[in-house]
Amino acid sequence: MQTIRGFSISQELRERFLSAKSVFVLTGAGVSAESGVPTFRGGGNTAVWKGMPFDVISSARMVERNLPAVWEWFDYRRNLLKSLQPNPAHVEIARWQDRFENFTLVTQNIDGLHQEAGSRNVIELHGSIWRARCVTCQVRFNILKDEARPDACLDCGDSLRPDVVLFGELLPPDAFEHAAEEAAHCDLCFVVGTSAIVYPAASLPEIARTAGAYICEVNPERTPLSNLCNEMLTGNAGEVLPLFG
Ligand code: BJW
Ligand code: ZN
């Protein structure tokens, strides 16, 4: 057993990691915390925008009521993200993709840092802050780091909104189904940096567990999923994940 700064990776997990054929990773805001991206919940980072809790400003209701305010909140965050870089956790997860016969990375994050670290075929459950979507024809437009975002749909002229999944909205068609299918067929599942309270994302490790996978959580704090996990690595993702090396 290797013990570093109070946490340990069991021999069993090491062996499972070496022999796994199908690995499934679910990430949340905590995987980007060491890059400087604020998390949503806990740790004093709770996101509030101009006095509004994020579940109010990041809601389907607010898109209907005050789309400019929603854009202001997302523009602010895109601006913050511009100068941030992937951290060792993103880099390590990107390395894993070529190591296993089957590897699936599912993220709730909208920041694009997994892709920037080299991860391919990332299933983005909650969309991307780097895209806008037409409220009428649903056409999507990339938002480039150093250019102003388009302010109306180039196809129909109607308003654009952030292409992210807000509270009360459905996940992108097929994204959850694809993720659930992979979760049901993995033998090792990592749950990294998520408070695991937002559904349906939080049901993915439950699906993996029901299907018999070994579940490992990486988080400095316990979550509602901790009891379901076979192993809890209590620490920061950027310090823990590179130990699998
Ligand atoms: C570290 C670390 C380090 C820190 N290393 N770790 C069943 C029951 C009750 C309600 C529902 C239900 N099913 C669905 C719902 C409704 C709702 C929901 O789940 N609500 C719950 C809060 C109760 N779900 C939805 O609305 C979803 N849609 C849906 O279900 O559609 C069907 C439907 C339609 C109509 C009505 C009802 C249902 C959509 C959810 C979309 C979530 N969107 C957001 C905002 C995106 C836009 C934006 O960015 O503004 O996505 S919410 C926010 O939470 C964001 C995140 O992706 C998501 C998850 O958060 P995450 O990633 O877990 O981050 P945190 O901050 O919560 O946690 C960070 C963790 O990291 C902590 O644990 C730290 O300890 C840890 N950490 N540093 C490792 N260095
Ligand atoms: Zn349009």
Active-site annotation holds for 126:
yes
Instruction: Give the Å distance between the CA of 140 and the centre of ligand 2.
Output: 9
Ligand nearest to the backbone CA of 139:
2
pLDDT tens for each residue of 36-93: 999 988 654 456 778 888 889 999 999 999 999 999 999 999 999 999 999 999 999 9
Ligand nearest to the backbone CA of 160:
2
Ligand 1 pocket by Cβ (under 6 Å): 28-30, 33-34, 39-43, 54, 58, 108, 110, 126, 164-170, 193-195, 197-200, 218-221, 223, 236-237
Mean pLDDT of all residues belonging to the chain: 93
pLDDT tens for each residue of 191-236: 999 999 999 999 999 999 999 999 999 999 999 999 999 999 999 9
Question: Token pair for residue 87?
Answer: 């951290």
Ligand 1 atom at minimum distance from 193 CA: 6
